[in-house]
Amino acid sequence: MEFTPEDVKKLADLARLELSEDEVIKFQKELKAILGYVSKLQELRAETQQPEMAVGPSLELRADTVEQFTEQAQLVAAAPKQVSHMVEVPGVFSAQRDE
């Protein structure tokens, strides 16, 4: 698709941009280059390519296990940190307000 100066002016108007005549010519060339690149991307046959799962060496993932906790004590015991009969979590606020 070829962009005319009128097309660029219309796009600029829709975007509420004021362009000089030099900028209109500049953006006309840039839009042509962008659309040329997009058309090359559309030529790729993406359906034949396999997506990459990770960059670098493959990682061994741990298996998730589902456990049922019926007692509060079991749940607290499974937590990384406990205080008394509660689960300890990192603080939300970095500093207390002085009152």
Domain range list for the chain: 5-45
According to the model, what pLDDT value does residue 3 have? 81
Query: Tokens 């979590």 belong to which residue?
Result: 89
Q: What does DSSP assign to residue 79?
A: S
Element (H, E) at 82: strand 82-83
Q: How does pLDDT run across 26-72, given as a tens digit for each residue?
A: 999 999 999 888 888 877 766 666 666 656 666 677 788 887 767 88
**Residue 83, φ and ψ in degrees, nearest 5:** -130, 115
Reported confidence tier of residue 73, pLDDT bands at 50, 70, 90:
confident
Q: How does pLDDT run across 2-21, given as a tens digit for each residue?
A: 889 999 999 999 999 999 99
Q: Which CATH architecture does the domain made up of 5-45 adopt?
A: Orthogonal Bundle (1.10)
Query: Tokens 């060339």 belong to which residue?
Result: 29
Question: C-alpha angle 51/52/57, rounded to 5°?
Answer: 160
Name which of 4, 49, 54 is nearest 25 in CA terms: 4
pTM score of the predicted model: 0.42
Residue 99 has pLDDT above 50, yes or no: no
Separation of CA 22 from chain center? 35
Element (H, E) at 83: strand 82-83
